[in-house]
Chain A
Amino acid sequence: MSGKVLVVVQRYGEEVTGGSESHARMLVERLAPRYPVEVATTNALDYWTWAPHYAAGTAVVSGVPVHRFAVERGRSADYKAIERTVMLEPHTLADEWTWIEQQGPHCPGLLDHLHRHGTTYSSIIFYTYIYGPTVLGLPLVPERAVLIPTAHDETALRLAPYRALFHLPRAIGFLTPEERALVRRTFRNDEVPDEVLGTVLETPGVGDGAAFRARYGIDGRLFVYLGQVSEGKGVDDLVSWWAGASPDATLVLAGAVRMPIPEHDRIRALGRVSEREKWGALAAADALILPSRFESLGIVLLEAWQAGVPVIVRADNPVTAGQVARSGGGWTYTSADELGAAVRGADRARGARGQAWVAREYAPERFDAALDRLIAWAEA
C-alpha cells in the first residue's frame, strides 16, 4: 500500500498553460483516484515574471490539495544579462547559481515545506529540471524523489548546478526515448532507473473537413501547420520554401502569428483557431508539417495521428524524427527536394499507421503502469 505522493511543479492551476505544467496536471489527476496525492507549487501564473496571482496557502483543485507558496522574487530585471554571461561567455560556478536565482521562481516556502514535511510523503515527483523548486528542492529529499526533467538539448542542461540533479533521484520519468538518450549521454547516470512515460492524450475532437474547406474556400491538396507561427519553430523556412517551390497544394498555418508571412495565394495564416477548427483542419489535411528543430514531445504530431493524419518532420530533430521512425506515421526530410517529394507523395495510409501506434503507445493504462513503477522505485 502506498503512502502520500507529492507533486512539485513551478505553476499549477486551471489557467496555467505550458507543456510541463499541463503534463503535471494530467499526471496528478490520473494519480488522484489511486493514491493520496498533493501538489506543492508557487502562487505564480506567469512563467516570465512569476508575479503573484493565486493566494498563498492551500487550495483544492479538482479535489486535490494544492499548497501554493509565495514567490519572494520573480525573474530579475537584468536576467537577460546574466543569461548571456552564463550561456555564451566564460563564467564561474557562482555566475551559474546567480543565473538560477535570477531566473526564478525564488520560493523559499516551498523548499522549507520539503525540508520540514518531505518525510511525510512516500514519494515526491519533481517537474522540470531547470527551475528552483526542482534544482534546489530535489536534493533535500533524494531518497524519495522522482524527476520528470522535460529536458531539451540546451546549454542550461550542461551547467554544473544541474549535474547532481540527474544522479540524486530514485527514478526518472522521460517523455520520449530521445530525451532519455540525451540525459543518459550527458550525465552517465545509468544507475538511476527510468521509464519513458510519454503522456495521455485527450480524446480527439471530431473534425469536419468539408466544413473547414468550405469556410476558408480551400480546394485541392491541403497541408497544415499547428502551433506558434514563428522563426523559433522553423516556420520561416517552411513558408519561404512554399512560396518559392509553389507545390500544387495549400499551406494552412493555424496558430498565433509572430513573424511576417509573404503574400501568396496558397499560403493561408489563420491566426489562433478554436479546438473545433483545429480538428477540422486536421480532418481536411493530407498531412501535418512540423518544421521545428527543437521539440520535447511534439504533442501536435500525436494529435495528428489521433485524427489519422500523417506528418512531415525534419530529420535533424531527434524527437520528432524518432517518433516518425517508431510509428511509421509520416516522412522526414533533410533537404528542400525531400520536403517537395514528401508533399507530392503524402497520402493517408501512413496516417492510419500513426493512428494505430498512438492508440497503442499512448494508451492510458500504459502510462499508469509506468507511473506506478516510478512511484514504487521511490518508495523502495
Chain B
Amino acid sequence: MTTDGTLLVVAQRYGDVAGGAEWHARELVRHLVPHFRIKVATTTATDYWTWKNDLPIGEELVDGVTVRRFPVDRGRARDFRRRERAAFNPGRSLEDERRFIEAQGPVTPDLLEYVASHVTEYDAILFFTYIYYPTAYGVALAPDRAILVPTAHDEPVLSLTTYRRVFHAPRAIAYNTAEERDLVQARFGNERVPHEVVGVGVERPADVSGDRFRNGFGIGGPILLYVGRVVPSKGCDRLFSDFARWKDDGNGHRGTLVVLGKAEMPIPVRPDIRHLGYARDADKWDAYDAADVVVMPSRLESLSIVALEAWSAGKPLLCHAGSAVLRSMSRRSGGGVFYRDYDEFGALLDLLLGDAGLRATLGAGGRAFVDRTYTWPVVVQKYRDLIAEVRVRNR
C-alpha cells in the first residue's frame, strides 16, 4: 500500500491532546496511513492556552506515524487580551494584526523553516486550523502543495486582513461543512480555489445496546442526552435551567437529562439530571442508542461531532438556533429541530417525546445525511482525490 504519495500534516498540537481540530487531524492521519507515507509537523505543546513546551523536541511515533515536534519560541502572551481587543477593533493596523497572531501563539519559526525548506519532499501538505501561527504563515510557503483544513467559524478574527492570503494561496481547501464553505467564500471571495466538503468520518460500532446502558445505569423513561464538555460556553448553564424549568412546570413531564463529558462547572444536583462523567466510547454509543433526543445547546458549534454521532445513531437532534451551522445542517438533513428560547425548547421537547414516529423520521434523515458525507470511506476517498489532483498539477 502507501502508493498514493507522501504527506506532511501541520497541526498546532498533536497526540494525546484535547481539542476538536487536533482530534480531527489525528483521526484523519490514522485513516490515511494505509494510503500515504505521512509525517506530522507540530509543536511540543499540549496546552492550547499557554503552549508551553511539555513534550520533547524531535521525532516520536504516534499511532505508528512519525511526529516531528518543533519548539514553541513564544506561547500565549501575557497581554493577549489587550492584543486581541486591538486586533478586533475596526480601526486596527496591520501591526495590530501581526501582534495579535503572535500573542495568540504558538510562535514556531523552526516549524516554518522546516516547511519552507522541505516542501518538495512532499506531494501535499495538510494545514489544520487557519487561525494559528503555523498555518497562518505556513500556507504561503507551500502554495502549490497546501491543502487547508480551515475549521473556520463566524468569529471576529476571520475579518483580519492577514488571513486573506491563507484562504487564497492553497491548492485546495477541505471544508468541514457546506456552511463553512459558504461563510468563507462570502467573506473572502475565494471560490476559485478548488474545494470540497470533507469533514471527518463517524464510526458507529457494530455492538450497540441502549438497554445495556439503561440497565447499567438504572435509567428508565425518556432520555434527553447531552455529550460534550460541561462548560457555560457550550450553553450548559442554560440547558440545565431550561430542563429544570420544563420538568418543574407542573405538567408532570417525565424524563432524565443524561450528561456525558468532563464537568468544568457545577451541575445541579437533582435525580433527573445524571452526570456520568467522561464516557468510554462503548458507553457513549450505548447512550446514543438509549436516548430519545440528543440536545446541543451550544451557539458556537460548527462541525459538531456529537450531532454527527447522534444522527449516525438514528436519533433526532434538538439544537440551539444560535448555531447557524447546526441549524442549517438540521434543515438540510431533516435530522433536527432548533429552539431559540425556553418556550421553544419545552414545546419541541414535548413534541418529540410524544411522537415516536417523528423521532424515527428525524433520526433516519440524520443517519442518511451522515452516511452520505461523514463516514471514513467517503472522507478518505475525497482526500485521495484532492491529493491526486495536487500531484498532477505539480508534475
Q: How many angstroms between the C-alpha atoms of A189 and B171 in the bound complex? A: 9
**Which of A94, A140, A143, A167 is close to B144, meaning CB atoms less than 8 Å apart?**
A167
A164 and B94 form a contact (CB under 8 A): no
Q: Give per-residue flags for B157-194: 1 if the beta carbon is below 8 A from chain A beta carbons, else 0.
A: 00001101100110000000000000000001110101
A163 contacts chain B at the CB level, 8 A cutoff: yes
Q: Across the interface, do B113 and A92 meet the contact criterion of CB distance under 8 Å?
A: yes
Contact of B168 among A93, A142, A160, A188 (CB under 8 A): A142
| Contacts A164-B141, A168-B169 given; does A93 touch B164 at CB 8 Å | no
- Whether A189 and B144, one on each chain, are in contact in the complex, defined by CB atoms closer than 8 angstroms, is yes
Q: Is A141 an interface residue (CB 8 A)?
A: yes
Select from chain B the residue with minimum beta-carbon distance to A90.
B117
Tell me the complex Cα distance, A118–B94, Å: 13
Digitize A183-198: 1 where CB-to-B-CB distance is under 8 Å, 0 elsewhere.
0000111110000000
Interface check B393, CB cutoff 8 A:
yes
Flag if B93 contacts A115 (CB, 8 Å). Answer: yes
B112 to chain A: which residues have CB within 8 Å?
Answer: 93
Is the CB of B307 closer than 8 A to any CB of chain A? no
Partner of B143, one of A93, A108, A112, A163: A163
B94–A168 touching, CB < 8 Å: no
User: Of all chain A residues, which has the CB nearest B395?
Assistant: A188
What is the bound-complex CA distance between A115 and B90, given in angstroms? 11
A residues within 8 A CB of B139? 164
Interface residues of B in 138-161 (CB under 8 A from A): 139-144, 161
Among the listed A143, A166, A189, which residue makes an inter-chain contact with B164, where contact means beta carbons less than 8 Å apart?
A143
Q: Is the CB of A143 within 8 A of B161?
A: no
Which of B143, B189, B393 is the most central at the interface, judged by chain A CB atoms within 10 Å of its CB? B143
Which of A115, A164, A188 has the largest count of B CB atoms less than 10 A from its CB?
Answer: A164
Residues of chain B at the chain A interface (Cβ within 8 Å): 93-95, 109, 112-113, 116-117, 139-144, 161-162, 164-165, 168-169, 188-190, 192, 194, 393-394
Q: Is the CB of B94 within 8 A of A111?
A: yes
One of B94, B109, B189 near A115 (C-beta < 8 A): B94
Which A residues, 122 to 151, have Cβ-Cβ distances below 8 Å to chain B?
A: 139-143
The 4 residue pairs across chains A and B that have the minimum distance between CB atoms? A164-B140, A139-B165, A142-B168, A167-B143
22 contacts between A and B (CB under 8 A): A93-B112, A93-B113, A94-B109, A111-B94, A118-B161, A139-B140, A139-B164, A140-B164, A141-B164, A142-B164, A143-B164, A143-B168, A143-B189, A143-B190, A163-B142, A164-B139, A167-B169, A168-B168, A188-B144, A188-B393, A191-B194, A191-B393
The answer for the CA separation of A92 and B111 in the assembled complex, in Å, is: 12
A112-B94, A190-B393, A191-B192 are known contacts. Are A163 and B140 too (CB-CB below 8 A)?
yes
Q: Which of B116, B165, B188, B190 contacts A93 (CB 8 A)?
A: B116
- Nearest CB of A to B194, in Å: 8
B161 touches A142 (CB 8 A): no
Q: How far is B125's CA from A231's CA once the two chains are assembled, in angstroms?
A: 44
Whole-angstrom distance between the alpha carbons of A211 and B394 in the complex? 57
Q: Which of B113, B165, B394 has the most CB of A within 10 A?
A: B165
Residue of B nearest to A169 (CB): B168
Residues in B neighbouring A111, C-beta threshold 8 A? 94
**Separation in Å of the B233 CB from the closest CB of chain A?**
31
Cα A168 to Cα B192 in complex, Å, equals 11
Which of chain B's residues has its CB closest to A192's CB? B192
Which residues of A sit under 8 angstroms from B141, Cβ to Cβ? 93, 160, 163-164
Q: A191 to B141, alpha carbons, bound, how many Å? A: 17
Contact (Cβ within 8 A) B161 A140? yes
Could you list 17 further interchain pairs (A-B, Cβ under 8 angstroms) beyond the known A163-B144, A167-B143, A167-B144? A92-B113, A93-B117, A112-B93, A115-B94, A115-B161, A139-B164, A140-B94, A140-B161, A142-B165, A142-B169, A143-B190, A163-B141, A163-B142, A164-B141, A164-B143, A166-B143, A189-B144
Q: How far, in Å, is B133 (CB) from chain A's closest CB?
A: 14
Contact between chains at A187 and B168 (CB < 8 Å): no
Q: How far is the CA of A188 from the CA of B94 in the complex (A)?
A: 30
Report A-chain residues with C-beta under 8 Å of the C-beta of B194.
191
CA of A139 to CA of B190, assembled, Å = 13
Q: What is the CA–CA distance of A160 and B116 in the complex, to the nearest angstrom?
A: 6
- Determine the chain A residues whose CB is within 8 A of the CB of B143 once the complex forms: 163-164, 166-168, 189
Within 8 A of B (CB), among A84-131: 92-94, 108, 111-112, 115, 118
**CB atoms of A168 and B165 under 8 A apart:** yes
Instruction: Produce 1/0 per residue, A55-99, CB < 8 A to B.
Output: 000000000000000000000000000000000000011100000
Q: Which residues of B contact A166 (CB under 8 A)?
A: 143
Distance between B5 CB and nearest chain A CB, rounded to angstroms: 16
- Provide the residues of chain A in CB contact with B113, threshold 8 Å: 92-94
Q: Which residues 178-223 of A sit at the B interface, judged by CB distance below 8 A?
A: 187-191
Contacts of A163 in B (CB 8 A): 140-144
Least distance between A203 CB and chain B CB atoms (Å): 40
Contact: B93 with A164, CB < 8 Å?
Answer: no
Chain B residue numbers with a CB within 8 Å of A168 are 143, 165, 168-169
A309 to chain B: closest CB distance in Å?
43
Residues of A within 8 Å of B192, CB to CB, are 170, 191
Residues of chain A in range 349-365 having any CB-CB distance to chain B below 8 Å: none
Q: Are A164 and B165 CB-contacts (below 8 A) given A93-B116, A111-B94?
A: yes
> A170 to chain B: closest CB distance in Å?
8
B142 partner residues in chain A, CB cutoff 8 A: 163
Q: Which residue of B lies closest to A164 (CB)?
A: B140
CA distance A32 to B319 in the complex (A): 55
Cα A5 to Cα B116 with chains together (Å): 34
Chain A minimum-CB-distance residue to B113: A93
Kindly provide the distance from the CB of B242 to the nearest chain A CB, expressed in whole angstroms: 42
Task: Return the contact of A188 from the options B109, B164, B394 (Cβ within 8 A).
Answer: B394
**A108 contacts which chain B residues (CB < 8 A)?**
94-95
How many Å lie between the Cα of A141 and that of B188 in the bound state?
Answer: 10
Give the complex CA separation of A149 and B43 in angstroms. Answer: 36
Q: Interface code A322-338, partner B: CB below 8 Å = 1, 0 otherwise? A: 00000000000000000
